[in-house]
Amino acid sequence: MFGTLDHVGVIVRDLDAAVAAACESLGLEVARSADLPEWSIRARFLGEGKGNLEIFTFDDPEILEPRLAGLDRRTDHVAFRVDDLESLAATLRARGVRFCGPDRGEDALEPIPTGLSLALWTRPETSGGAGLQFIQPPRD
């Protein structure tokens, strides 16, 4: 139902230090960066192919601090690639799942453009306690 694993997102207080530590300890390289200033996000994806590790932070402390809950880093979400985001969202909404943007601000009623892809994030309290992200890549 969810498609293939895209990445696991780890939220951190200090992006540069966390990326350097992960690269050194895991032997991974930064494959790509994704900065979304409209969401106050800076992210680095480590590793090639599927199942990347995303290390990210929010520049806005009002978003960052509650998500970190006093920690310097923690697992935040698991992301899956899906073929039909709207259909999956409708199925999950019928089961009580609610969606939001990456900042977990207002509810999202439509998929959110993130570059060429579309995405939705679940509100963990409505999806079994897990933060999930669903990504629909661009259609060929």
Domain limits for position 127 = 4-136
- Please report the pLDDT score of residue 115 as a whole number: 84
CATH number at residue 29: 3.10.180.10
Total of domains in the chain: 1
For residue range 26-57, what is the model confidence (pLDDT) as tens digits?
999 999 999 999 999 999 999 987 789 999 99
The string of DSSP letters for the chain reads ---EEEEEEEEES-HHHHHHHHHHHH---EEEEEEEGGGTEEEEEESSSSSEEEEEEES-HHHHHHHHTT-SEEEEEEEEE-S-HHHHHHHHHHTT--EE-TT--SB-SS-EEETTEEEEEE-GGGTTT--EEEEEPPP-
> What's the whole-number mean pLDDT along residues 95-116?
94
